[in-house]
Amino acid sequence: MTGDQIHRAVSADGTEIAGRVQGQGPPLVLVHGPVHDGDIAWGALLPLLTDRFTCYLPSLRGRGLSGDNPDHSPPRSHFQEDVNAFVDSIGEPVYLMGWSDGGSLALGAAAHSDAVAAVAAYEPAVWTLMREDDLARFGAAIEQATRAYHGPPRGHAGNAVAPIAAPAGTAWAVSLPPICDPLTSAARLAPTMMWVWSLVIGCPRG
């Protein structure tokens, strides 16, 4: 993906959040999901949008053009602060679109800022609205999928879901399926990737 203009904002803790800007029209901020960045998540959709909107494509911290905090494992509250800061920095009413966890971040930014004119959330991961029994069933499904693909987990993959709804800094037990080894290598390109996979399949964060 190419783009001549880059928009930069500063999150609450001083981390720079950046994204390419393409198109013309009212501003539309597109918030990617957990396994993407702003440069790769929206490639198929952009041709349908750039003739009607100025599309802002921010990357969350540790991805794409954005900066990263030193420990490479930001609590989710920083992601929300990143999106809030990016939206506010545009300086005019914006439309927001988010995909997966980006959908919940877009909804959070709309709740935070009067600058949001409208929100489209595609399959938002609104974990805090899930009932405890639904969250437990989801965790069991993750463990079952891990078991089927990798054999018996070495820890408690079902617990990998808990921190999504838990306060920042909460400790939890995770499994270590074999797929974590190649993902650790991939995480050198996106330092926050292991934080994401620690939630999804139980890879270690450190």
Who's near 198: CB < 8 A, 6+ residues apart?
160, 163, 174, 204, 205
The predicted pLDDT at position 189 comes to 46
Closest by Cα among 85, 23, 89 to 60: 85
Beta partners for 54? 23, 27
Q: What is the pLDDT along the chain (206 residues), one digit of tens a residue?
A: 445 799 999 999 899 999 999 999 999 999 998 778 898 899 899 999 999 999 999 999 888 899 987 666 555 668 999 999 999 999 999 999 999 889 989 999 999 999 999 999 988 877 666 778 877 877 777 677 666 655 544 444 334 333 333 333 333 333 334 444 444 444 444 455 545 545 444 444 44
The predicted pLDDT at position 3 comes to 52
Number of domains into which the chain is organized: 2
Q: Are residues 89 and 158 in the same domain?
A: no
Q: Are residues 109 and 189 in the same domain?
A: no
* Token digits of residue 71: 């420990």
Note if the pTM is more than 0.75.
Answer: no
Q: Are residues 75 and 143 in the same domain?
A: no
Amino acid in the structure at residue 71: D
Domain that holds residue 189: 129-200
Residue 33's CB: how many other CB atoms inside 10 A? 21
Q: Are residues 92 and 26 in the same domain?
A: yes
CA atoms of 8 and 157, how far apart (whole Å):
37
The predicted pLDDT at position 74 comes to 56
